[in-house]
Amino acid sequence: MSRRASARLLILAGLVAAAVAALLFLSAGPRAVRVARAANPASGSVGPAGPVLPANGKWTGTATGGTTTTSDPLDGEAGCAEGTTCDTFTLTVLPGVYTGKIIHVDLSWTSPSNDYDLVIYKGGTCPATGKCTGTFISSSGNGATNAILTEEHAQIDPTASGSGDYKVRIVYFNAPPGTSTADPPQGTFSVSSVAVARTATYVSGGINFSPNVTVKAPVAESDGEPSSRTDALGNFYVSGIRGFPAGIDLWYVDLRPTVGGSPNPNYDPFMRNWAYRGQPDAFSPVNEADLGGDGGGDVDLAVGRPDPTTGNLADPATLASSSLIAANISTQKSVDRGQTYTRNNLGNATGGIPADDRQWEEFLGNNTVYIFYRTAAPAVSMIQRSDDGGLTFGPATTAGAIGQAGYIDVHQKTGTVYISGASGQVCHGDPPAPGLAPLTYTCVQAASDPNGVDHLFFVVKVAEDGTANGTVYVCYSNDHDIFLAHSTDKGVTWSAPVRVSNNAVTKTNIMPWFETGPTPGSVGVVWYGTDQATNDNNANWSVYYAQSFNATDDAPTFRQAKLSDHFIHGSNISERGLDPTGTGANRNLIDYFQVSFDPTGAAVVGYADDHNDFDGHTYVARQISGPRMVGDGKTNVPDPGPTPAAQTGPYPLASSVGGQAGAQVTDFRQDVADALLVRTNTDDPLDIVSVKYSCETGTGGIPLVVATMKVSNLAVVPPSSNWRMNFAANAPFAGVSPTGDYSFALSDRGDQFYFKANTDTNPAGDFTWGTAVRNGDGSLTYTQRGTADCGAFDTAAGTITIKVAVSKLNQFASKGAITTGTVLAGLRGQAFTSNVNGKRDSTRGGTEFVVGSCAATPGSGCAAAATPTPTPTPTPTPTPSATPTPSATPTPNPTPTPLPVFQFNSLTYPVQEDCTSIVVTVLRTGDTGQRSTVDISSNNGSATQRGDFTYVVGRLVFEPGETQKTFQVLINEDAYVEGIENATLILQNPQNGTLGTPNNAQLQIVDDASEPNSNPIDDSRTFVCTHYHDFLYRQSDQTGEDFWTQNIESCGNNAQCRVEHRQDVSTAFFLSIEFQQTGYFVIRAHKAAFGSAKSNPRYAVFLRDQRQISNGVIVGQPGFQAMLDA
């Protein structure tokens, strides 16, 4: 490689060395001449099958060495002298069929202080000095594509340049005499097949995941980049990092369908009953959550595998974990499902090099563990082996510099070890004998991309798929799409990459991870994706999952589904690890997350999420329907049964920690951290147990938002302390998770506020309020805006209460005034001392509070100052009147049965702008024994029907016993920059019932973060989706939408074909059975009934009747004809 900056500093020394070498070639006589030195051997031949005898595909450079004297920016050949600073090898490419073939010409040497370049010409001659005269073919002089300092790589494509003689020239750009002869450049030539370009088919939907669950740990302010594993029996583990030296946290979920051949009573397919297992790397051997951990910089888990020879699996399988410290990597293991640990603080240091980064682990069988990491500087790969379940590790082996460590995997049958690096290389090491660790590793460039392949991480896996050596895969992101490539010859040659992510759904996709299945071509891939074209602060992110059962085909199929049931993050995502540049990338999710498969073939995922929290925390989800990772994908994941009911409040339940009944935020008791590390195992004034949000009516009817924090002990209010309660108004996507544990609202997109009590200067407390903003680097900036209307400490109740008038908050509510029906989300609290690194406690994000029905009188805590009212004028005493004659007591009438009440189940229905829909629920309470109806309608606001949504009109019919009905509101995509728009949904005209509250609700359409310049209807998927809205008055079913979209997209860039296929789509919708028997039937019926052959029904009437006829109909789905006939 030509390291130009450093090499030029050595030119003077090189010139001197070259002069000395030249003198050695001069004889005393005047007729002496220089003798040219050729390569050894000087020539060789190659055919379509490879080197042709007597050539063996190798040669050695024999020039004496020196430094070229040219400023040639490419390879220095212009200044080389044959036999001194360059030599030439003649490669004859024999005639033959080279279709799909490429000839590789490679150069390597040992010492990185030497620098050689490679140039190839066809034909011509190579003079004693200067460049060859043939046709230039290729060169490698500014660095090999794999970033290794001692290699250069070039190619010949015979299908382009033909057969004949090629001059392959080695240029000694900086290789002084002595060093070059001791370490001569070694050349090789070989033939390989060209990877065939691959294009995938994408299928959307058909896979569902359980309602996402967040796991929690005491003390932890964050638990990011979760590592997760499921062993062959179904023991699932997930671990997140708090950061060094706070350590790591571990949770366990029982996903064993059976135990001992019988159904497992603790089987938890919805992952609701997770168990916190403490900190595997804890300093304290007594309580794993009290003293922080011996690490926390990075984490990786590994689980024992079946014995490669016998197939036996220990029960439970060994769990190995590792935690990064700046100086080394601490290691731990457990043989009782993480309930206890054996720890080794020295970890890798006994056989490796201290000062490490990004470790990965994998088992071979149940006792042997390989660990892979890179050193800090220089960044060199290190692989070590443990034979005691990952506790102690032996000597290190290196595969050289391959960039940031990507991953490690081990083929169980052969023991071959694979590692990958950010440079795009995959290295494999074969054991010299069964049971031994590899001694050397061979590295190959597996993939490359102009935009890089290191968008965290370049992951390698080898499948246990029944083939002799297993199929090796790499998965990576180029900062836009997710790609997969594979090798069937142990990583020697690689397929062309294929795009995994469906770019009709997401535009930016990063941080992929994957797991392989039990048959060739079966894989499951997860990643973070957004519909934004750029990874910036406008992006809203979700978790995606794609699976394939033919990923090694030339044209594989990937089925993609959204895994997360809410947006997990609203900002940029850092892809650089720690940010030494200080440019402010958001690291709240940290660097990666992982996927595994349980014994049923269901995908199980742990990911990071900060949508409702101060920082990133760990969530888990499991596949509950769709094809399972078993066989050819034609069988589905077993039905786990009905979704469990929501819990009665966030975990830990308020009643279990002494919190307030109905509190939307709860926290573990006795989990104050001292000096950011040591847990305080006593009740404390800063130990939050709950935060409850409410409202009350203040002076003049102005509502006040009330926040009350309860701590475990407030007998004495401490000085220099702070208690802060956060919330966000107008955050989009509000709604409580089906788990009952947290809000879906993306709090960073709302108007964020805080209430705060402080005792720095006033022992009685200063009570203030202000605004909060999430910064691009993930931190929060707090700005005080004023004094609270009132605030108080209640030492008996252990509460801190603060109240602020809505009118004050609304001065800073840029996304809409806080009023009746406004949802407050992002609810969370912190308590901390004013001195740096003192004591602190922080809660997780909670559920929601809806402003409305505020208490008419002041609640507990304090009363806001009231405006005095004037003393009333006394009224005269009235003159007594005569006592009236009693009348007869009337006969009482029977108490009438109260009518049922209709109401919406929410005051607000937020939805992201797209060609989509939102489901609205109407409840009926009270007497449900009779048939009753209520009409639905909509009124325009800043959002208007037809432009932003489709007009809502219809009648909901409740049969006896029915308590709720749903209807769809169809949302349209446009290209206007509009901000959040609102319309009103209305209940009216109740029959055999009455209207309750709310009977009006807000439809809230959240504008796209950025709008395209093109017409949305030009997008094929939007075009098709709009047809479903306009013709069928319903949201598209995924199968149909995919079919008609592909019908258009099959034209590629052929404009005329696209126009014709669009016309075909429109015609097909008009002629479809569904439209002919619903919407068009309404038109025909009106014409026949009212004798108006030339006119159509009014729009609202048409939609009302079409809804009545078509409700629930999807042609092709079971029972559709019976629904149409009803």
Convert the pLDDT of each residue in 678-725 to its tens digit. 788 899 999 999 999 999 988 777 899 999 999 999 999 999 999 999
Convert the pLDDT of each residue in 211-237 to its tens digit. 999 999 999 999 999 999 999 999 999
Q: How far is CA 353 from the centre of its chain?
A: 32
287 has a pLDDT exceeding 80: no
Average confidence (pLDDT) over 927-941: 91
Percentage above 90 pLDDT, the chain: 65
Average confidence (pLDDT) over 314-342: 93
Average confidence (pLDDT) over 428-432: 97
State the average pLDDT for the chain: 87
pLDDT band at 295 (very low <50, low <70, confident <90, very high): low
What pLDDT, on the 0 to 100 scale, is given for residue 837?
Answer: 64
pLDDT band at 902 (very low <50, low <70, confident <90, very high): very high
Identify which of 65, 84, 86, 83 has the alpha carbon closest to the alpha carbon of residue 75.
Answer: 86
289 has a pLDDT exceeding 60: no
pLDDT band at 802 (very low <50, low <70, confident <90, very high): very high
392 has a pLDDT exceeding 70: yes
What pLDDT, on the 0 to 100 scale, is given for residue 5?
Answer: 28
The enclosing H or E element of 678 equals strand 678-680
Higher pLDDT, residue 152 or 497: 497
CA-to-CA distance for 112 and 109, rounded, in angstroms? Answer: 8
CA-to-CA distance for 734 and 846, rounded, in angstroms? Answer: 12
Place of tokens 């002084």: 176
Phi and psi angles of residue 1099, each rounded to the nearest 5 degrees, phi first = -55, -50
What pLDDT, on the 0 to 100 scale, is given for residue 290?
Answer: 43
How many CA atoms lie within 13 Å of 1059's alpha carbon, on the beta-carbon side? 2
Average confidence (pLDDT) over 117-140: 92
Average confidence (pLDDT) over 274-281: 95
What pLDDT, on the 0 to 100 scale, is given for residue 139?
Answer: 85
Average confidence (pLDDT) over 528-535: 96
What pLDDT, on the 0 to 100 scale, is given for residue 1071?
Answer: 83
pLDDT band at 35 (very low <50, low <70, confident <90, very high): very low
CA-to-CA distance for 712 and 672, rounded, in angstroms? Answer: 11
pLDDT band at 16 (very low <50, low <70, confident <90, very high): very low
Higher pLDDT, residue 1066 or 38: 1066
pLDDT band at 881 (very low <50, low <70, confident <90, very high): very low
Phi and psi angles of residue 467, each rounded to the nearest 5 degrees, phi first = -80, 165
What pLDDT, on the 0 to 100 scale, is given for residue 1011?
Answer: 79
What pLDDT, on the 0 to 100 scale, is given for residue 1096?
Answer: 67
Phi and psi angles of residue 7, each rounded to the nearest 5 degrees, phi first = -65, -40
Average confidence (pLDDT) over 826-844: 91
Is 394 buried (19+), middle (13-18) or exposed (0-12) by CB count in 10 A? middle
What pLDDT, on the 0 to 100 scale, is given for residue 386?
Answer: 98
Percentage above 70 pLDDT, the chain: 87
Residue 643 in 3-state DSSP? coil
CA dihedral sign, ordered 217, 223, 229, 234: positive
What pLDDT, on the 0 to 100 scale, is given for residue 11?
Answer: 25
Is 474 buried (19+), middle (13-18) or exposed (0-12) by CB count in 10 A? buried
CA-to-CA distance for 519 and 539, rounded, in angstroms? Answer: 36
CA dihedral sign, ordered 259, 265, 269, 271: negative
What pLDDT, on the 0 to 100 scale, is given for residue 15?
Answer: 28
What pLDDT, on the 0 to 100 scale, is given for residue 188?
Answer: 94
Q: Angle, nearest 10°, between helix axes 1099-1110 and 1079-1090?
A: 120
What pLDDT, on the 0 to 100 scale, is given for residue 38?
Answer: 64
818 has a pLDDT exceeding 70: yes
- When mean pLDDT is compared across 70-79, 200-209, 870-879, 956-965, the lowest value belongs to 870-879
pLDDT band at 726 (very low <50, low <70, confident <90, very high): very high
Average confidence (pLDDT) over 346-351: 86
Average confidence (pLDDT) over 656-663: 97
What pLDDT, on the 0 to 100 scale, is given for residue 232?
Answer: 97
Query: What stretches of 65-170 show up as alpha helix (H) in DSSP?
Result: 158-161
CA dihedral sign, ordered 334, 336, 338, 342: negative
Neighbours of 665 (CB within 10 A): 31
Neighbours of 1092 (CB within 10 A): 11
Average confidence (pLDDT) over 575-591: 71
Average confidence (pLDDT) over 806-825: 94
CA-to-CA distance for 314 and 302, rounded, in angstroms? Answer: 14
Phi and psi angles of residue 512, each rounded to the nearest 5 degrees, phi first = -75, 155
Convert the pLDDT of each residue in 431-461 to its tens digit. 999 999 999 999 999 998 888 898 989 999 9
Convert the pLDDT of each residue in 150-186 to its tens digit. 788 888 999 999 999 999 999 998 888 877 788 899 9
120 has a pLDDT exceeding 90: yes
What pLDDT, on the 0 to 100 scale, is given for residue 1083?
Answer: 80
What pLDDT, on the 0 to 100 scale, is given for residue 870?
Answer: 39
Average confidence (pLDDT) over 522-534: 97
CA-to-CA distance for 265 and 263, rounded, in angstroms? Answer: 6
742 has a pLDDT exceeding 50: yes
Average confidence (pLDDT) over 609-626: 98
1120 has a pLDDT exceeding 60: no
What pLDDT, on the 0 to 100 scale, is given for residue 144?
Answer: 42
What pLDDT, on the 0 to 100 scale, is given for residue 354?
Answer: 72
Convert the pLDDT of each residue in 918-930 to its tens digit. 999 999 999 999 9
Average confidence (pLDDT) over 100-118: 87
Yes or no: say if 995 and 901 are a contact pair by the CB < 8 Å rule. Answer: yes
Yes or no: say if 458 and 420 are a contact pair by the CB < 8 Å rule. Answer: yes
- What's the Cα-to-Cα distance from 477 to each of 148, 507, 562, 603, rounded to whole Å? 22, 12, 18, 21
Phi and psi angles of residue 908, each rounded to the nearest 5 degrees, phi first = -135, 140
Higher pLDDT, residue 405 or 882: 405
Residue 327 in 3-state DSSP? coil
Task: Report the chain's C-alpha Rg in angstroms.
Answer: 36
Average confidence (pLDDT) over 824-846: 92
pLDDT band at 378 (very low <50, low <70, confident <90, very high): confident
Is 646 buried (19+), middle (13-18) or exposed (0-12) by CB count in 10 A? middle
What pLDDT, on the 0 to 100 scale, is given for residue 861?
Answer: 73
877 has a pLDDT exceeding 70: no
Is 843 buried (19+), middle (13-18) or exposed (0-12) by CB count in 10 A? buried
593 has a pLDDT exceeding 80: yes
